[in-house]
Amino acid sequence: MPADLSPTTVARPATELAVRASGVVKAFGVGDARTVALKGADFSARQGELHLVVGPSGCGKTTLLSVVAGTLDWDEGRVDVFGTSLDGLKRSAITDFRRRNVGFIFQQFNLIPTLNLTENVSVPLLLNGRGRKVAESKAQELLKRVGLGGKETKRPTQLSGGQQQRVAIARALVHEPRLVICDEPTSALDSETGHQIMDLLATAARAPGRCVVIVTHDPRIYGYADRITQMEDGRVRAVLEGEPLQRFVQSTH
């Protein structure tokens, strides 16, 4: 079983690492169809940080974050999240760890079509053993915060792409996970809604002992980053902060 990582039992300074992945290798397929998506990627994100991951399509961003989130097995390398090494854990223990500590917004929103919005957003709380009433009331609060109050009983198929994306964001935040991982959270959103969502994610990121990592192609949100990791061809090419980060953000406007 993984160690208990609830915030009450782990008190760490805000500068400590939330994620440390080193030398991560991941290949898909075999023979002629083999693609090496990660070729020894080194990645870290700090507690209290909003961290962006950028890079060309196909460079391995989703693959890296799926490994860190515990949704994908990897071939080589070490992955450590909030001081717990995922390397030695069985799949079932990783799943348990993920349920308690990680919120994941997928590139495809992965909403459950047969459930209404409140039920979709309640899922992480129910999986963590919370009662249905509490879960639904918290889900409704989150739906309001992402601007979907009044739509609680709709189903995902009755919503626009941007609205579905906001449901996915509410679902990723509802159980207040210590690590939130988002794959393109603003791709389907207009500017104003995108900024509202980024404000919500930045607040979650900067709470003590928490961290938000976002994969994005959207230069409109680069200004929110505390640090930016640039990936290229299965590896991390650079990590930007301070002056170089400011220059990068300005160069994309």
Ligand X SMILES: Nc1ncnc2c1ncn2[C@@H]1O[C@H](COP(=O)(O)OP(=O)(O)OP(=O)(O)O)[C@@H](O)[C@H]1O
Hey, which residues between 66 and 125 contact ligand X (CB under 6 A)? 107
Contact 16, 47 (CB under 8 A): yes
Which residues, in sequence order, are CB contacts of 220 under 8 Å at separation 6+? 186, 191, 194, 195
Name which position in 35, 110, 137, 246 contacts ligand X (CB under 6 A): 35
Note the helical H segments in 146-241: 161-173, 191-206
Question: Is 57 a binder of ligand X (CB under 6 A)?
Answer: yes
Question: Is 62 a binder of ligand X (CB under 6 A)?
Answer: yes
Stretch that binds ligand X, among 56-64, 98-106, 121-129, 149-157 (CB under 6 A): 56-64
Closest CA to 22 of 62, 80, 73, 72: 80
Question: Is 52 a binder of ligand X (CB under 6 A)?
Answer: no
Name which position in 20, 47, 60, 62 contacts Mg ion (CB under 5 A): 62
- Whole-angstrom Cα distance, residue 14 to residue 4? 19
Stretch that binds ligand X, among 53-61, 78-86, 172-180, 235-243 (CB under 6 A): 53-61
Q: Which of 102-127 are b and which e, b meaning 16 or more Cβ less than 10 Å from the residue's Cβ?
A: bbbbbbebebeeeebbbbbbbbbbbe
Question: Is 235 a binder of ligand X (CB under 6 A)?
Answer: no
Measured from each CB, the residue nearest to Mg ion is 62
Q: How many CA atoms lie within 13 A of 189 on its CB side?
A: 25
Question: Is 216 a binder of Mg ion (CB under 5 A)?
Answer: no
- Whole-angstrom Cα distance, residue 174 to residue 143? 9
Q: Which is nearer to ligand X, 37 or 159 (CB)?
A: 37
156 binds, among Mg ion, ligand X, none (CB under 5 to 8 A by kind): none
Q: Distances from the Cα of 87 to the Cαs of 63, 81, 134, 212, in angstroms?
A: 16, 10, 34, 22
CB of 22 to Mg ion, least distance (A): 21
Question: Is 149 a binder of ligand X (CB under 6 A)?
Answer: no
Stretch that binds Mg ion, among 27-35, 58-66, 110-118, 123-131 (CB under 5 A): 58-66
- Whole-angstrom Cα distance, residue 58 to residue 82? 28
Q: Which is nearer to Mg ion, 217 or 247 (CB)?
A: 217
Q: Which stretches of the chain bind ligand X, using CB under 6 A? A: 28-29, 35, 37, 55, 57-63, 107
**Binding-site ranges for Mg ion (CB under 5 A):** 62
